[in-house]
Structure 1
Amino acid sequence: MTPRDNDVFEATTPGLPVARPQASGRFFESLRERLPRGALSALGVAASLAVFALAAYILGRTLSSLSYADLLNAFRATSGAQILASLALSALSYLFLTGYDVVALYHMRTRAPYRVAALASFASYAISFNLGFPVITSAAVRYWIYSRVALNALQVANITVFAGVTFWLGMTLVMGIGFIYGAEALAALDGLPTFLHIIPGVLILAGVLFYFAWVTVDRRTIRLRGHALELPGFIPTVAQFALGVADLCCASGALYVLLPEGVPLDFVPFVAVYVVACVLGVISHAPGGIGVFEATMLHAIPAASHESVLASLLLFRMIYYFIPFVVALALLGADEGARRWATLRDAIARIVEERSN
């Protein structure tokens, strides 16, 4: 997870009293000082608006040419087996997401019951996927739940950051593999030479391997806005990669099984396209990447008709986003109701005991 423009991001190793900025850190600090104040933030906003505007234009053109009768027929053509498979893969994806918090708690040497970690993780992702602003919404939901087991705001913030890093590690690893092994299929989609997909894939995997080696050969600490955060070692990092890849494969698989028959795209290059669509959705800051994700997938997936792909995307949005959102709200409501009832029951028991005495 990359820090914001005004974050302080320094690497330290044990034995050094103070973190010394590396050459790349000094370069970026110097560049930041030379730019006008707020320039990087303005560039980020401009990039988000540009991505969203382009996606809106592509999506608008696509929707204007759709036949709604064909769209309804595409919905009807989706079998019950496809929907059940998508539901099962979505459930597996959210199950792997709960592992993000479990590994974070293990790394922080902090204990919490699995049911608490699972509820915090599931609810935070189900809500942030739909409402957007994941740093705020995820942290708020996690703090509401973890505060009951005596975790403070700083610990919850560390869990949120750790989970975000896990998500992006999985994204980058899958993207690198997809670009390399699906290079020919991707080249057939966008018309670019195969090597223009292999080169970024190799660079991405090289960066992933460098990060893995960097955090495993020695204990590392980063400073984020003056706060020291210890990076995980070998075992937690392996767990991060495994959980990130498993979650992403299940999430993309939940959409893949909904695609109409005859789509000439194998799973590996499809996952690469899925990751790119997710990244563009994140850049746009649209809640759940809505609109941007759909426009990217409609443009990239070869199919007999846009209606058939759009039907799959809408079903996926319902299964992977909306249903978990409703379930998360219900679970949070039930959990809060049970907690209030337990408090009320204890209070009534004390009153009865005092009167009987």
Structure 2
Amino acid sequence: MTKMKKQFARLGKLKLISTLYRLKIVQILIPMIILGMVVWAGQAELRRIDWAATLDILRDLDPTRIFLLLSLSLVAVASVSGYEFLLRRHFKLSLGIWATFRYAWIANTSNNVIGFAGIVGAALRTFLYRGRGVSIPTITACIAFLATITITGISLLAWGDLTGLFPIDAVIQSHRWAMYAVWAIALYLPGYLLFQRTPFYSKWLNRNLPQMNLSIIVAAVGVSVVEWLLAGVAFWAIAATLLPEFPLRTALGIYTVAVATGLVSMTPGGIGGFDLITLLGLQALGYPPETNAAVLVLFRLMYYFIPWLIGLVMGGIEFARGRYRTQLDV
């Protein structure tokens, strides 16, 4: 009788988990739990930071330099639109050049800040594409393609960490657990290339729409590499402004490990995992905690928050246009 009760209890738990997953609650709870664990693990590092000194460092920055760094960050964010143009070409979407760029900016910047496993980006693309008459199967295929291709670029850069192209000893020697995240992301690209040609991908993810040919796959991986590389360069430019003699290769190494950790944590924008690894990596190189925190805050503002605000304005205008078009149809 006791064994039967235990089995029923287990079945009840499985049913609860299944229900929560269908309601997308698990996809939100897991990142929140991981974020809490990361914050708890990084308490000692956060206590070392004099936040008043960090704000003083940010206030002393030259406005011209800030403008240049922001411009570079916006260019890095804009490169993500390359995916959208590939989708436009492959699925023959009836979108103009400006609309394609605009939709990419709105969806990607919002997904970076409040993504939760891509739910926000997928919802926004569905809303925007449906407003242009794109069918649900095509939208589903577009979202599935984006969900699987965007990590390929950072996966390729992760091999740069593993082969010594980008120095990561400063991070890994004191925090070897980060190497597991790097390996997990590095193995994604070869796994994707194998998975993409399987019947499962064609039937369930591509929804029997035209299969991505080799040229589209290569172009998409290329866009992904450019996206992540430009983001890493933006990180380096911001860091080099505050940290003397900070090499580009070292910056890309720290950035790649931080991104890998953030992706594995599944939190929006990698928040928590990315930030902790960035602080640990810079501190391992001997830079002061306050300056490291200033680098992190500046990067978050320029690459995530400000582009997101621009995306909100674009989204508001798009929503107003959509309502106007609906009223005309009525």
Give the TM-score category using the shorter length: 0.7 to 0.9
Separation (CA, whole Å) in 2 of partners of 1:207 and 1:137: 23
Query: 1:321: Cα distance to partner?
Result: 1.3
CA offsets, 1:302-346, max 9 Å, x none? 242011011111111111111112111111212333454566679
Q: CA 1:171–1:231 in 2, change beyond 3 Å: closer, same or farther? A: farther
- Residues 131 and 287 of structure 1 are in contact (CA less than 8 Å); yes or no, is this contact kept in structure 2? yes
Query: 1:130: Cα distance to partner?
Result: 1.3
Query: 1:245: Cα distance to partner?
Result: 1.0
- Residues 152 and 224 of structure 2 are in contact (CA less than 8 Å); yes or no, is this contact kept in structure 1? yes
Q: 2:86 aligns with which of 100, 103, 115?
A: 103
Partner of 2:46: 63
Partner of 1:335: 318
- Taking structure 2 as the reference length, the TM-score comes to 0.76
Which has more radius of gyration?
Answer: 1
SS state at 2:202 partner = strand
- Residues 82 and 258 of structure 1 are in contact (CA less than 8 Å); yes or no, is this contact kept in structure 2? no
Q: 1:190 aligns with which of 169, 172, 180?
A: 172
Q: CA 1:343–1:147 in 2, change beyond 3 Å: closer, same or farther? A: closer
Which residue identity lines up with residue 248 of structure 2 in the other structure? F
Unaligned runs of 5+ in 1: 1-35, 348-357
Q: CA 1:74–1:156 in 2, change beyond 3 Å: closer, same or farther? A: same
Q: CA 1:155–1:191 in 2, change beyond 3 Å: closer, same or farther? A: same
CA offsets, 1:177-236, max 9 Å, x none? 2332435x32244338xxx98xx87x98787468658869x9995343794465422211
Which structure 2 residues correspond to residues 1-357 of structure 1 after superposition, within 5 A? 51-182=34-165, 185-191=167-173, 208=189, 221-224=201-204, 227-228=207-208, 231-259=211-239, 260-262=241-243, 265-301=246-282, 302-341=285-324
Which residue identity lines up with residue 221 of structure 2 in the other structure? F
- Residues 86 and 253 of structure 1 are in contact (CA less than 8 Å); yes or no, is this contact kept in structure 2? no
Unaligned runs of 5+ in 2: 1-13
CA RMSD of aligned residues (A): 3.9
Separation (CA, whole Å) in 2 of partners of 1:50 and 1:340: 38
CA offsets, 1:78-121, max 9 Å, x none? 33344233312222222211111111232224342122221221
Q: CA 1:44–1:276 in 2, change beyond 3 Å: closer, same or farther? A: farther
Which residue identity lines up with residue 100 of structure 1 in the other structure? Y
SS state at 1:182 partner = coil
Q: CA 1:225–1:88 in 2, change beyond 3 Å: closer, same or farther? A: closer
SS state at 2:40 partner = helix
Separation (CA, whole Å) in 2 of partners of 1:343 and 1:222: 35
- Taking structure 1 as the reference length, the TM-score comes to 0.71
Query: 1:135: Cα distance to partner?
Result: 2.7
Q: CA 1:337–1:109 in 2, change beyond 3 Å: closer, same or farther? A: closer
Partner of 2:4: none
Which residue identity lines up with residue 326 of structure 1 in the other structure? L
> Percent of aligned pairs with the same residue?
19
- Residues 79 and 226 of structure 2 are in contact (CA less than 8 Å); yes or no, is this contact kept in structure 1? yes
Query: 1:77: Cα distance to partner?
Result: 4.4
- Residues 220 and 230 of structure 1 are in contact (CA less than 8 Å); yes or no, is this contact kept in structure 2? no
Separation (CA, whole Å) in 2 of partners of 1:299 and 1:233: 42
